[in-house]
Structure 1
Amino acid sequence: MTDIKVLGPGCPKCKATYNNVLEALKKTNMEADVVKVEDIEEMMKYNVLTTPVLMINGEFKIKGRIAQVSEIVQLLNN
């Protein structure tokens, strides 16, 4: 199963990215384990400075901006 993480402290951009991930999953009919990481100490483990961050299967895909639904769909289909 696909593992998706959205890292961010709960700001509007982070929430938008998380919601876009859920929307992209609906569009692709894929199931994934989606985790929202809001804890600062947990985020520090990933060594990220700018949020939001979209990770798919342990790889950083998009950092520092809202991931658009179409982009996420494309990343999931690769």
Structure 2
Amino acid sequence: MVIQVLGTGCKTCHNTVTRIEETAGKMGVQVTVQKVEDVAEIASYGVTATPGVVIGETLVHSGGLPSVSQIKQWLAEATDQSGKQER
């Protein structure tokens, strides 16, 4: 699963990447986290506060460090949806 973290490289953006990778690892979910730092691309998602988090072309978070429970929910929903699509 590809997850994009939208932001210009601030500390919170870096911490978001780390938190997503660690949480996914603990859940046994394989993810590829892509950092998107291009301002025009970030704006195209409608992000007004960074970091933004995009899963499957859907903006799921904007502004501040997401909690571990939020990330777990996103990953669970995304893996459930991808499983349903494969059936």
Give, in angstroms, the shift of residue 10 of structure 1.
Answer: 0.5
Q: What TM-score, normalized to structure 2?
A: 0.78
- Structure-2 separation of matches of 1:70 and 1:47: 24
Q: What TM-score, normalized to structure 1?
A: 0.86
How many matched pairs? 77
Runs of 4 or more, structure 1, over 3 Å off, are none
Query: Which structure shows the higher strand fraction?
Result: 1
RMSD of equivalent CA atoms: 1.3
Larger Rg: 2
Gaps of 5+ in 2: 78-87
Whether 1:53 and 2:41 are equivalent positions in the alignment is no
Query: Which structure shows the higher helix fraction?
Result: 2
Q: What fraction of aligned residue pairs are identical, expressed as a percent?
A: 35
- Specify the alignment match of 2:15 in structure 1: 16
